[in-house]
Amino acid sequence: MRVLGIETSCDETGIAIYDSNQGLLAHKLYSQIQLHAQFGGVVPELASRDHIQKIIPLIKETLTTAKTTLQDINAIAYTAGPGLVGALLVGSVLGASLGLALNIPTIGVHHMESHLLASMLEENRPNFPFIALLVSGGHTMLVLAQKFGSYEILGESVDDAAGEAFDKVAKMLNLAYPGGPALAKLAERGTPQRFNFPRPMVNRAGLDFSFSGLKTFALNTLHENEDNDQTRSDIAWAFQDAVTDTLIIKCKRALKETNLNQLVIAGGVSANKTLRSKLSILEQQNIKIFYPRLEFCTDNGAMVAYTGCQRLLSQQQHSTLSYEVKVSPRWAITEIDKR
């Protein structure tokens, strides 16, 4: 089965073609970072308009690179949620229209499930059951992935998502959007241990996270110290150290409580080098860590094409030949089949 995947949930237009026999044939990404940077964050209306402009040329380019044509596509998978409603509608309407024109099945995919499955595109893949830490701009959660399509949320952020906290602290430090990678870069010049930020909620039982207090801690630290480049780098270092430590403490706890030893990391923040190097220490404790390649940590079409293909093959989610367009800006990963 050859599936065209379409991702437009936020500020990246991602297109890919995945073939169940041959694997990933091609993937292309257009990032809207430049467009939104001047506003310091994603402007939803501009995101939708830009997806409209880029999506068709990107599909054509992807087909060319994959040396295939629309006539050889057997199904279309598009992100149906969660995400920005206007942006989701662009991919969904185009996906459904193409499906109608080609008379092939279409399938609406859950964005976080596709992040969770992104590491299945790599040679080193996890086997169910495993624990997944999903850390993106909109979500932070620890998920017990029992089997394909069966997910239990063990813990999640009670306030800001990890990526959101990175972005907000970055803004505070006058860094350009998207703040996560910029803050990580600034932290490289930071003096280790000059500031010591708290590790929120680690002394409490359970697997939930809270990152908004760290934001306030960063702001107070900035006000209480001489505001110069070194102070800002040191704050970036301490903030990143606290977030990554907190994530790792909860991952270890989740693995221990479930008696599992495979940990999948996905979503934009999984690109963070400090997080990855701290996780590598867990590998010495007989824990196997799985990541998608860096370009598939952030939003992309490949994970959507893969997820749609698996869902269609496993018949877990019935494909539709009715081509009704339904997007779900808020949609829990535990409710994939109940939409």
Is residue 298 close enough to count as binding ligand KG4 by CB under 6 A? yes
Beta carbon nearer to ligand KG4, 8 or 319: 8
Residues whose CB is less than 8 angstroms from the CB of residue 203 and which lie 6 or more positions away in sequence, other chains included: none
Residues whose CB is less than 8 angstroms from the CB of residue 100 and which lie 6 or more positions away in sequence, other chains included: 323
Residues whose CB is less than 8 angstroms from the CB of residue 123 and which lie 6 or more positions away in sequence, other chains included: none
For residues 147-166, which are near ligand KG4 according to CB under 6 A?
Answer: 163-164, 166
Q: Give the one residue of 178, 200, 292, 308 binding ligand KG4; rule: CB under 6 A.
A: 178
Beta carbon nearer to ligand KG4, 2 or 250: 250
The answer for 59, left when phi > 0, alpha when psi is -120 to 50, beta otherwise, is alpha
Q: Give the one residue of 8, 119, 221, 272 binding ligand KG4; rule: CB under 6 A.
A: 272
184 binds, among ligand KG4, Zn ion, none (CB under 5 to 8 A by kind): ligand KG4
Beta carbon nearer to Zn ion, 160 or 299: 299
Q: Determine how many CB atoms are found less than 10 A away from the CB of residue 42.
A: 19
What single string gives the DSSP state of each residue in 227-295?
-SHHHHHHHHHHHHHHHHHHHHHHHHHHHHHHT--EEEEESGGGG-HHHHHHHHHHHTTT-EEE---GG
What single string gives the DSSP state of each residue in 207-246?
S-B--HHHHHHHHHHHHHS--SHHHHHHHHHHHHHHHHHH
The closest alpha carbon to 56, from 32, 30, 33, 81, belongs to: 30
Q: Give the one residue of 4, 10, 90, 133 binding ligand KG4; rule: CB under 6 A.
A: 10
269 binds, among Zn ion, ligand KG4, none (CB under 5 to 8 A by kind): ligand KG4
Is residue 272 close enough to count as binding Zn ion by CB under 5 A? no
Beta carbon nearer to ligand KG4, 105 or 181: 181
Is residue 179 close enough to count as binding ligand KG4 by CB under 6 A? yes
DSSP 44: H
Q: Give the one residue of 19, 234, 241, 299 binding ligand KG4; rule: CB under 6 A.
A: 299
Residues whose CB is less than 8 angstroms from the CB of residue 113 and which lie 6 or more positions away in sequence, other chains included: 149, 151, 307, 333, 336
The stretch near ligand KG4 (CB under 6 A) out of 19-27, 101-109, 133-141, 215-223 is: 133-141
Is residue 247 close enough to count as binding ligand KG4 by CB under 6 A? no
Is residue 299 close enough to count as binding Zn ion by CB under 5 A? yes
Beta carbon nearer to ligand KG4, 70 or 332: 332
Residues whose CB is less than 8 angstroms from the CB of residue 336 and which lie 6 or more positions away in sequence, other chains included: 110, 113, 149, 151, 317
286: its two tokens: 């007989």
319 binds, among Zn ion, ligand KG4, none (CB under 5 to 8 A by kind): none
121: its two tokens: 């595109």
d(CA 199, CA 184): 18
Beta carbon nearer to ligand KG4, 6 or 269: 269
What is the arrangement of strands in the sheet containing 75-81, beginning at the earlier edge strand?
23-31, 12-19, 2-7, 75-81, 106-110
Beta carbon nearer to ligand KG4, 113 or 167: 167
> What is the DSSP pairing of strand 75-81 with strand 106-110?
parallel
Q: Give the one residue of 105, 138, 155, 301 binding ligand KG4; rule: CB under 6 A.
A: 138
The stretch near ligand KG4 (CB under 6 A) out of 55-63, 200-208, 262-270, 283-291 is: 262-270
Is residue 319 close enough to count as binding Zn ion by CB under 5 A? no
Work out how close the CB of 40 gets to ligand KG4 at its nearest, in angstroms, rounded to a whole number.
12
271 binds, among Zn ion, ligand KG4, none (CB under 5 to 8 A by kind): ligand KG4
| Binding positions for ligand KG4, rule: CB under 6 A | 10, 136-138, 163-164, 166-167, 178-181, 184, 267-269, 271-272, 298-299
| Binding positions for Zn ion, rule: CB under 5 A | 136, 299
